[in-house]
Chains A and B, each alone.
Chain A
Amino acid sequence: DAGVIQSPRHEVTEMGQEVTLRCKPISGHNSLFWYRQTMMRGLELLIYFNNNVPIDDSGMPEDRFSAKMPNASFSTLKIQPSEPRDSAVYFCASSPQDRATGELFFGEGSRLTVL
């Protein structure tokens, strides 16, 4: 069975460039989460969707970050313009439940380096 699929796995870009990270959740899961992980701050929830609708985006750092979920099988996280402090591993996770009271299934992550 396919798990959560993220792309790209690695991205190196220069400050000021636009970055788009993509995620395909597990089929049938109706909740999707974007997390960011750094050594300093650990895993931080950026935003989560339930049935393609954003429920809580309070973790999105600032206006440079945006996330969309146009359908049940695809989500994007966009950073424009990117800055060196955005360097991190970005994880997408999905869950079969409406609320995160159960197991989250994570993708392998997208490792972003902004120079």
Chain B
Amino acid sequence: RKEVEQDPGPFNVPEGATVAFNCTYSNSASQSFFWYRQDCRKEPKLLMSVYSSGNEDGRFTAQLNRASQYISLLIRDSKLSDSATYLCVVSGNQGGKLIFGQGTELSVKP
């Protein structure tokens, strides 16, 4: 079983749609959780951290379910510029390293 698993997609959605990505992780000792965004042929960049109580940043909402070892990202009112690959990221044992999922590709169409 991979340490971090994501649906690779692609998710093809029209502008204005709401889209949700899910991610599961295997290490119950993980303490830190993030969503990164990677544009085509570019480096990954932090989108947002994920907190236990859930958190929102504009059109983006992240949630964490520790019991189920599950993380989600919700994008509302999607824009063309949201087209990218979204990477679920989880800290490893002792928090010393970050483990990336394979990513979920999103394509927002006009």
Contacts and interface: CB of A to CB of B under 8 A. Distances in A.
Interface of A: 33, 35, 41-43, 45, 48, 50, 55-56, 91, 99-104, 106-109
B102 A99 contact: no
B94 interface: yes
The 6 closest A-B pairs by CB, nearest first: A106-B43, A42-B102, A43-B100, A100-B98, A103-B46, A99-B95
Nearest to A106: B43
Interface of B: 31-32, 34, 42-46, 87, 91-92, 94-103
Nearest to A103: B46
A42 B43 contact: no
Contact of B95 (A100, A103, A109): A100
Contacts of B101: 42
